[in-house]
Amino acid sequence: MQRRSFVLGAAVAAGAATLGAGGVLQKWREVDPGIRAPGRAEGHFLRDLARHPGRLPVPSEIIETDIAILGSGVAGLTAGWKLERSGHQDFLVIDGPEADGNAAGARYGQAGEYACPTGAHYLPLPSQECLHVREILADLGVILRDAQAERPYYDERYLLHAPDERLLVEGHWYEGLLPPLQPGEQEELDRFNRSMDSLRASRDARGRRAFMLPSAQASDDPRWLALDRITMRQWLEQEGYRSPALHWLANYGCRDDYGARYDQVSAWAGLHYFCSRSGQAANAADGAWLTWPGGLQPLAEGLARRIGPRRRPGTVLQLQETSRGIEALCMVLRDGQATSFLLRARKAVCAMPLFVAARITPAMATLGFDPAQHLPARAPWLVANFLLKRFPKEKPEAPLSWDNVVQREPGLGYVVSTHQDIRVHPPQQTVFTSYVALTHLAPDQARRWMGQATPAQLLALAMEDLQQAYGWQFGAAVERVDITLRAHAMAIPTPGFRSNAGLKKLQQADGKILFAHADLSGFSLFEEASWWGYQAALKALKT
């Protein structure tokens, strides 16, 4: 949606609504942001269909294939990629409500095109245990050589360039993500880092690491599973950590990776954030990141290129087993009108979020998955892309970085889409992408707020961190705003998620319906989603 004008009023409007985040809705004039809510219309259609099952649309055609992949997020795309790489051609991917899922990106044109993320936006260097991710990256040309060596050689265009991150605290920028330390805090941080080094190297009697990606391969030793019975905050307090800076960092890490605060997230998951990433490269520092202007969309596009034409729009309404395999009733929703088709296959890879799969797949109950007990809570997110006609003026303490974090909630800061550009001079325009995990509200409350909020209220929330960084002068640089609402963005690994019996049943399923989604791990990361897609493809290839 193109800008007509973007003028900010300096005064707070009388009687303006106060947001749950503690911010105040400012007086805006002629603001017209684009609002996207991927999957909302299809989700509401499914919800209404559950109340009125007789309204199922009659299929207009029947399609047959050997393997049906239902969902085109990272798990579904990986499953299709692995089938193609294995020489199997007889499969079909049904996209679901949003092609490419949370990895989806978008392009904004204004004096040139600028790619920017609407979902996930970085990937840590994969460790040697992440063989599947390294295989993908090598196939897509991100790893140039020695893909399975200890230190592969990466295409430097995709290695995150410096400066990589900074933190705004009380109006001043600091390099890195640690707030200024008070007396005595450095000793606690040193002790914490030693503890993380020890946990990172810990292995059980079978040689399995305590924390690793994919998490399905991590140790299930009782001493590590005990960490899943308490929250990350409780673990810090039990270990005697009192540092405000450390508590802030742990809370930020949980909010960033899991969409929930550290007093809600399992201690196992909180420690996994610090201990699981051990990737190395021949041409980058240990623990470096990979990123693209469009977030992870280039990876999704690369996987999709391998799949080629074996892909079709559609959302699954029913998935059932038959004597010959499976049948999936699918619809395409356009302007509120549904047309449908019936898909028949020998096997199905159910690569959709589990809260959706549970609505349409009766076989989940026979496997031992009870939605009332086993469905994880899901975190809502808001992602806003601000196309800027010029860079805003920076404060002098630390330069503009790729990741710019503000020490406050509920925002997670913003990333700069043109950061990876290699130019003699900075581009004239750029895109700042603001991320907000609505952790100031319970997930159901946050979803209700997102569904009821006006565009102005959504924009005010998306702008809060940017206003903290630049004041009202930021608005004068804005050319256009596009907001993406992800009401069910990711599963939250609350205490007990590692012992979720229903998830284990779906992980082990090896029948006509196979499951592949990051939800099987209990949290949403590229490494997890692609692992389950890879494993489902291997199972589906078995006769």
Q: Closest Cα to residue 346, out of 68, 63, 96?
A: 68
- Under DSSP, the state recorded for 217 is G
- Consecutive H or E run containing 3: none
Q: Closest Cα to residue 44, out of 443, 447, 515?
A: 447
Q: Closest Cα to residue 348, out of 377, 389, 375, 318?
A: 318
- Label the pairing between strands 430-437 and 378-388: antiparallel
**Which residues make Cβ contacts (< 8 Å) with residue 38, sequence separation at least 6?**
97, 98, 104, 484, 485, 486
Query: In which region does residue 39 sit, left (phi positive, over 0), alpha (psi from -120 to 50) or beta (all else)?
Result: left
Q: How many CB atoms lie within 10 A of CB 452?
A: 8
Q: Tell me the C-alpha distance between 9 and 28, whole Å.
A: 6
Question: pLDDT digit of tens for each residue in the chain (543 aa)?
Answer: 332 233 333 233 323 333 444 444 444 445 589 999 888 877 777 777 766 666 677 888 999 999 999 999 999 999 999 999 999 999 999 998 887 777 765 555 433 478 899 988 999 999 999 999 999 999 999 999 999 999 999 999 999 999 999 999 999 999 999 999 999 999 999 999 999 999 999 999 999 999 999 999 999 999 999 999 999 999 999 999 999 999 999 999 999 999 999 999 999 999 999 999 989 999 999 989 999 999 999 999 999 999 999 999 999 999 999 999 999 999 998 877 788 999 999 999 999 999 999 999 999 999 999 999 999 999 999 999 999 999 999 999 999 999 999 999 999 999 999 998 876 677 888 999 999 999 999 999 999 999 999 999 999 999 999 999 999 889 999 999 999 999 999 999 999 999 999 999 999 999 999 999 999 999 999 999 999 999 999 999 987
Q: What SS3 state is found at 425?
A: coil
Query: What's this model's pTM, rounded to 2 decimal places?
Result: 0.92
Q: Tell me the C-alpha distance between 71 and 314, whole Å.
A: 9
Dihedral angle at the C-alpha atoms of 391, 396, 399, 405, nearest 10 degrees?
-90
Contact 45, 64 (CB under 8 A): no
- Under DSSP, the state recorded for 228 is G
**Which residues make Cβ contacts (< 8 Å) with residue 199, sequence separation at least 6?**
210, 211, 271, 274, 275
Query: Which whole-number Å values give the CA distances from 23 to 26, 211, 457, in the listed order?
Result: 9, 37, 10
pLDDT of 55 reads 66
